[in-house]
Structure 1
Amino acid sequence: MGHGGNVINELTTDHREVEEIFGRIEALPPGDKNRKVYADQATMELVRHSVAEEAYVYPAVREHVAGGDAIADKELEDHAKAEQIMKDLESCEADHMEFDRLIGLLMTEIRSHIADEEENLFPRLRAACPPEALDKLGDKVRQAKKMAPTRPHPSAPDKPPANKMLAPGAGLVDRLRDALSGRGKMDD
């Protein structure tokens, strides 16, 4: 993740990448161990994406978009639901009886969230912010994703300044755990 361009292009590209991972999961038969690998990859991408949105995009929405507080609060609610599903999914292997239900729930939740952002939030943000501000937000989001956690932390703060202070430390620990465990990587 980290594509360049303004914040809307950055986040829309993230959406396409997650959708591609969901397609890989759906193409595999139930119980296939690679479904878990792809679920972990989707979780890693989604957590980084969410942390960056919570740190920079939603505060900008609150500041610049009419009715921004209500919009940002709804987006944070969506994130909280998805994060809890990802947390529940984290302990399930692909052949666990709950895996298919949880991954289906996650895909439904994320697809609905993506549609809402792309049809409602992004056009309003584009209309409310000058291009330079959207470019700056894109840079901040890319930086945040590099430092962000890769695992769900449902009890972590989701609003600045606490989320901006805690995310890099959690991200470092998560990336270390991922490297040591091979999480999100295919077996050779």
Structure 2
Amino acid sequence: MGHGGNVIDELMTDHREVEELFGRIEALPSGDKVRKVYADQATMELVRHSVAEEEYLYPAVREHLVNGNAMADREIEDHSKAEQLMKDLESCEAGDAEFDRLIGTLMSEVRSHIADEEQHLFPQLRAACTAEALDDLGDKVRRAKKLAPTRPHPSAPDTPPANKLLAPGVGVVDRMRDVLSGRGKHD
């Protein structure tokens, strides 16, 4: 979190980090408890990433890209599906049969979303925006990720201005819960 660079570089670094966590999950045998730790870490990263995209990237997509409203709506729909999967995954332990199904579906959905963003949305955004605008968006996304929730909240608003108002408060509560529970930490 907080890598530097323009918004596209920042988000692509996030994508690589999530893919690394997915690879760690896939490298462990079904039922291994560490899979749950990595799944929690991936969820924490994905939620922060999604909140930042919804607060800043997608409004820029709507403003600067031809057919931007439809593109942003599709991306937010992808986020909603992934967020529900992460919420369902929260209540599963690594040894549960449902865990394997949910994490597999989540990885597939997220990988598809990442490919779509990197192959279509990011090149269009790079062509439509100035380097300065992309750098400014990168700064905003980094700030948003620092305050964003770390747990899925499928019923929370996902468009401005409500998401910008609620995310920091929910983020504080989530981070407190994470510290107290040890969520996402190895024993």
If the TM-score is normalised by the length of the shorter chain, which range does it land in?
A: over 0.9
1:142 corresponds to 2:139:
no
Name the counterpart of 1:80: 80
1:18 corresponds to 2:34:
no
How far does residue 175 in structure 1 lie from its aligned partner after superposition?
A: 0.1
How far does residue 47 in structure 1 lie from its aligned partner after superposition?
A: 0.1
How far does residue 91 in structure 1 lie from its aligned partner after superposition?
A: 0.3
- Unmatched segments (≥5 aa) in structure 2: none
TM-score, structure 1 as length reference: 0.99
1:56-97 CA deviation, whole Å, 9 max, x = no partner?
000000000111000000000000000000000000000011
Map residues 67-146 of structure 1 onto 2, 5 A cutoff. 67-146=67-146
Q: Percent of aligned positions with the same letter in both sequences?
A: 80
Map residues 149-164 of structure 1 onto 2, 5 A cutoff. 149-164=149-164
Whichever residue aligns with residue 72 of structure 2, its letter is A
Whichever residue aligns with residue 126 of structure 1, its letter is R
Whichever residue aligns with residue 80 of structure 2, its letter is A
Q: Distance in 2 between matches of 1:170 and 1:164?
A: 11
Q: How many residues are paired up?
A: 187
Q: Matched residue of 2:183: which SS?
A: coil
1:1-46 CA deviation, whole Å, 9 max, x = no partner?
1100000000000000000000000000000000000000000000
Say what the alpha-carbon RMSD is for the aligned residues.
Answer: 0.3
Q: Matched residue of 2:97: which SS?
A: coil
Q: Distance in 2 between matches of 1:84 and 1:152?
A: 7
1:147-176 CA deviation, whole Å, 9 max, x = no partner?
000000000000000000000000000000
How far does residue 110 in structure 1 lie from its aligned partner after superposition?
A: 0.2
Name the counterpart of 2:27: 27
1:95-125 CA deviation, whole Å, 9 max, x = no partner?
0110000000000000000000000000000
